[in-house]
Chains A and B, each alone.
Chain A
Amino acid sequence: MSLVYDLYQPGGSWLHRLDPRSKLLCALCLCVALLLARELWLIAALLLLTQVVLLSAGIARQRIGWVWKLALPTMLLIAVMWLLLYRGEGRTLLAFWRIEISSGNLIDALAMGLRLGALAFTFFCFLFSSEQDAIVQGLVALGLPYRAGLTLAIALRQLPTMANALRTISQAQQARGLDLSRGGLLQRAHAYIPITIAMFISAIRSAERLAHALESRALGARPRRTSLHPLRWSSADTCLTVVSALMLVGWLVWRLLV
């Protein structure tokens, strides 16, 4: 199954065993720090931290490589844009045409580029080590209404099914002579209409059947639900949350004062 639908890599590492709530909160703290940081050393250190976390949790190198492949072009783009658009401090290293690249600028550009990578990896640490259902359970525990959580879970779970349906419908219409390869953008978009409409109708029909199935299985019978796999908040989770919060606050305070 394609990587996109199946981000979770099963495992029993320390990272896997943490409650998704604490992982989410820690990831949010990291994100805040990354968004506010300007120093290259800090951003690089946090990026390195995500790599260490992923490797120590036993996440396959293939997956880590996949994220790099995804993020690298955009990271480079950001770095280059920064170099071209801004003029930093420090001595000029290179000047041609109207562009001046200084040492300060170079460092800033690197920092901006790496920041994107660090942000991406922070979230993938969370997504690779947490089951889809556990994530939704965590969100509900943090305050998301159950129906919204269920909707989110079903939507995520439908992605592979819808992709299959799209493929089959596309084949079915092509077998009736629909040509998807000819013409400009507008013509091709028009050619997709029979596919889109069929998908839509098909999706609505499925949704109705799913609704009946949900009702038939007592959805809404009780105000509170129990769970086959309840979330377990351990002392490690408390540790992680407290440490992340303290470090973030500490760093912010230090930055304000210094």
Chain B
Amino acid sequence: MILTVDDLHYAYPPLIPGGDPVPVLRGVDLRLERGAFVALMGPTAVGKSTLCLALNGIVPQSTGGVIRGQVRVAGYDTRRTPIAEMAPHVGLVGQDPESQLFCTTVEREVAFGPENLALSRNEIVERVAWALETVGLSEFAGRSPLQLSGGQKQRLAIAASLALLPEVLILDEPTASLDPLGQRQVFQVVERLRRQREMTILMVSHNAEQIAAFADRLAIMVEGRIVRDDAPRAVLCDADLMREAGLAPPQVTAVAQQLNSHDGERRQWIRLDEARSAFFARAGEAS
């Protein structure tokens, strides 16, 4: 297991001095094996971002607060290992690309991480080139990040983390502010990373349809706890769970469930091509 979270409880420091700490994580358990692509879904403000921050040590080292339980990533204890030491092993890409980009050119942005690690100039050049190529931004190397579109900025933020060559990549809602084209591009990058580098990926997302197409596993977080962690098919087709969590499965899943309730079958479609094939096969039988 490259990432293990054991009974993690965390409360942010009180908003007003003297007040009560704000509990967010209430006993999270999570395990990721090397090369897995796990998606995390849940209602808003349930603790998904907090969990992401706990996976590279920002919670609790930078945020303070009260923590209980253990988090180990790539062999490091995130409560004790300095964040800068874990950064080359676990990359974290936040939601809003605008507030994560601060350099004057795209290549400097990607070089920032390797520069912090005091790598040789040749190594830095190589990593920057690889990272930009992986996310498809090689021709923008000398441009200002301000000139990029939303999707391009998000890919740049990913490239900036990739340049550290982490074993684990955590993406907190990377497609939140993107249009459909931008969303597709980000998922394609993630898919490429899995295939080429066997990178372990945890992605927080609201996009059930993309998750159904790409993820190995889907974890559902409700009220500070992971309540289900299983293959996407099992989770998305569990109507009671999805309803309880306030989430919507892919539309084809909803269609399957309605059809199931009429004729008692047990269809478990989660992708459009599955539904299509089923309909065409039926049409083929009928003719």
Contacts and interface: CB of A to CB of B under 8 A. Distances in A.
Say whether A and B bind each other.
Answer: yes
A181 interface: no
Contacts of A225: 115-116, 118
A218 B99 contact: no
B121 A212 contact: no
B156 to A, nearest CB: 12
A216 B108 CA distance: 16
B134 interface: no
A205 B113 CA distance: 22
A211 B102 CA distance: 11
Interface stretch (A36-44, A80-88, A155-163, A183-191): A155-163
B186 interface: no
B116 A222 contact: yes
Q: Which has the most chain A C-beta neighbours within 10 Å: B85, B91, B94, B112?
A: B112
A78 B94 CA distance: 52
B92 A212 contact: yes
Contacts, number: 108
Interface in A145-162: 153-154, 157-158, 160-161
Interface stretch (A13-21, A48-56, A226-234): A226-234
Contact of B98 (A161, A215, A220): A161
B190 interface: no
Chain A interface size band reads 20 to 34
A7 to B, nearest CB: 12
A211 B146 CA distance: 19
Q: Is the interface of B mostly helix, strand, loop or mixed?
A: helix
A220 B87 CA distance: 11
Contacts of B124: 226-228
Contacts of B161: 216-217
A217 B104 contact: no
Interface string A203-243: 00110011111111111111011111110000000000000
Interface in A55-102: none
Interface in B104-149: 104-105, 107-108, 111-121, 124-125, 128, 146
A211 B100 CA distance: 8
Contacts of A158: 102
B77 to A, nearest CB: 17
B83 A215 contact: yes
A1 interface: yes
Given A209-B94, A216-B83, A227 B99 contact: no
Contact of A132 (B104, B107, B111): B104
Contacts of A131: 104
Contact of A217 (B112, B118, B119, B128): B112
19 contacts: A153-B103, A158-B102, A206-B96, A206-B98, A210-B102, A212-B92, A213-B157, A216-B58, A216-B92, A217-B113, A217-B116, A219-B84, A220-B116, A226-B114, A226-B118, A227-B111, A228-B121, A228-B128, A230-B121
Interface of B: 53, 56, 58, 62, 83-85, 87-88, 91-92, 94, 96, 98-100, 102-105, 107-108, 111-121, 124-125, 128, 146, 157, 160-161, 164
